[in-house]
Amino acid sequence: MATLAEQFRLPIRMRRNRRTEAIRSLVRETELKPSDLIAPLFLIEGKRKKMPIASMPGTARLSVDLALEEAARLHNQGIQAVALFPYIDRSLKTQGAEEAWNDGGLILRAIREFKQAIPSLCLIADVALDPYTSHGHDGLADGSGKILNDETIECLVKMAVAQAESGVDLVAPSDMMDGRVKRIREGLDSSGFQDVGILSYSAKYASSLYAPFRDAVDSRLAFGDKKTYQMDPANAREALLEAALDEEEGADILMVKPASLYLDVIARLRQTTQRPIAAYHVSGEYAMVMAAHQMGWLDARKVFYETLLSIKRAGADMIFTYAVDPILDALM
């Protein structure tokens, strides 16, 4: 009587490579490591202040002193980069977003303190007007509510140069105005900041997944939506074109955002650029999983690990994520 195995005589048994954790680790194609992750930090004024963000359980807005302690803790665990996002008091928000390049303002002070306290940490700052405009849009608006491209870019250049003067390593334009990378590059170069890099939010979609972030920085829109500058979620070829333009204009790193719903875009961009790709695992992607976790419906740590592994498998080199702590736990 032939055994079942003899009857089957399967020359190829895929399960042989899955038999033990040791073998699985040998054949593993993608690996997440702490230096793949970029931790966003929300900043507020004050000392020893911590304001939890209700829609993003486990995160909080921190005064700069606490944010520094948080960054040092993460850096000790292998995190190499943080992205700073300021929570700007309503009274400082204006039509012209002037607070964005105010030398005494929260973001520039924070950049200086961070650079001085933890010089080896890569410091990234957003370049977009939304935390500073009274209406919450990323650009200047005219009387009819139209977002003005070229006028906005003048502001972004001032903002980027001010951030560079304060010590930022990478400026990250997240506004989606046309031609901003080129003008920011020129502005940085003509001010002596040839070495400051541009991480461009190249393919940033008009996504409903940014809602918790807008709570976190109090940038809810006073009118309209961001569809005249952020991309239509229906389009992928357009994302490749956006990225190619940013590359031509001098971007050092290209971003796709959000991440997990746009893995096709990341994978396609991986085929068409030799530049590093960043992906932003955004606030809504974090909030959905945390909400289900709190209901006891899934294990956030495992879901985050799988999600970020998938983002990397799709072709991202680095990932902005609020789930840094759960991921570091998963990597232990």
Annotated active-site positions, please?
204, 257
Task: State which residue, 65 or 151, has the beta carbon closest to ligand PBG.
Answer: 151
Q: Closest by alpha carbon to 320, among 56, 37, 89?
A: 37
Q: Which of 101, 213, 229, 305 binds ligand PBG (CB under 6 A)?
A: 213
Residue listed under structure tokens 């009387």: 143
CB of 257 to ligand PBG, least distance (A): 7
Q: Closest by alpha carbon to 291, among 56, 60, 41?
A: 56
Q: Where are the alpha helices (DSSP H) in the chain?
A: 4-8, 21-27, 64-76, 106-117, 149-166, 180-190, 211-216, 237-249, 263-272, 283-294, 300-314, 324-331
Q: Closest by alpha carbon to 103, among 166, 41, 152, 47?
A: 166
- Candidate segments 24-32, 98-106, 123-131, 191-199, binder of ligand PBG by CB under 6 A: 123-131
Task: State which residue, 210 or 304, has the beta carbon closest to ligand PBG.
Answer: 210
- β-pairing, 140-141 with 147-148? antiparallel
CB of 261 to ligand PBG, least distance (A): 12
CB of 126 to ligand PBG, least distance (A): 5
Quick note: the x/- pattern for ligand PBG over 41-80, rule CB under 6 A, is ----------------------------------------
In this structure, are residues 191 and 164 in contact, taking their beta carbons and an 8 Å threshold? Answer: yes
Q: Closest by alpha carbon to 280, among 307, 250, 301?
A: 307
- Candidate segments 91-99, 206-214, 248-256, 287-295, binder of ligand PBG by CB under 6 A: 206-214
Residues 241-300 that bind ligand PBG (CB under 6 A): 282-283
Count other Cβ atoms within 10 Å, centred on residue 219.
24
CB of 173 to ligand PBG, least distance (A): 9
- Take residue 21 and report the two structure tokens written for it: 């954790």
- Candidate segments 47-55, 88-96, 108-116, 122-130, binder of ligand PBG by CB under 6 A: 122-130
Residues 80-109 that bind ligand PBG (CB under 6 A): none
Binding residues for ligand PBG (CB under 6 A): 126, 128, 130, 138, 174-175, 210, 213-214, 282-283
